Amino acid sequence: MTGSTSDLTGKLAIVTGASRGIGAATAEALAARGAHVVLTARTADALEAVEERIHAAGGSATIAPLDLAESDSIARLAAAISSRWEALDILVINAAMLGSLGPVTTMDAKEFNKLLTLNLLASQALLANFDPLLKRSTAGRVIAVTSSVGRNPRAFWGAYGASKAALETLVGAYGEEVKNLSPIRVAIVDPGATATAMRAQAFPGEDPATLKSPTVVADRITALVGEDFETGKWERIN
């Protein structure tokens, strides 16, 4: 890292899974630094609430309610954005589903396929469809949100962990492919234990007051996009 800038004025960002938790907090943090943020998630009402908070704080945002798992939703989003903006500066790949926790031998094939579609295949579609816009940025940044179970297998977390391990490999490969052709830099962020709805689903008896807020993760992601780092950077936020 050779430096950072906190001013994102004039930058365009997309945050997936922006209706709550880390995604919502990241969208608000990016907007607070001056970026125009495109918020994507399935729930329009929740996205509107995040957009309202951004506008109330003096920021700028646009909502794009969609299901990333639908076959052509990402292509349609890319077409809409490219018709309005010249370049994409920041892509935060955050949307994911936990799925059921259980033994590898009893995974429900239909649910596992749905999980991989959102957590992995949609990420590839995001990179494929937004690659031209990212390459037009003077400092494109792709930040993918992962989990410790992607690197350290844990009993009963096979489905989610496999999707995150594959995501890291996929995003890392993309970073290697473009690093000598463009200013795009790719980083993978493990948020660690954070008070989110997904965390509560996985650990229902845990006191969320003992966990860090999504804003802590959001602030670090927002700082990271303004830094000059080597592509392939991996970071756990403690």
Active site residues: 160
3-state secondary structure 135-183: HCCCCCEEEEECCHHHCCCCCCCHHHHHHHHHHHHHHHHHHHHHCCCCC
Angle formed by the axes of helices 44-56 and 21-32, to 10°?
30
For residue 167, how many C-alpha atoms fall within 13 Å in the half-sphere facing its CB?
A: 36
Run of H or E residues at 65? strand 60-65
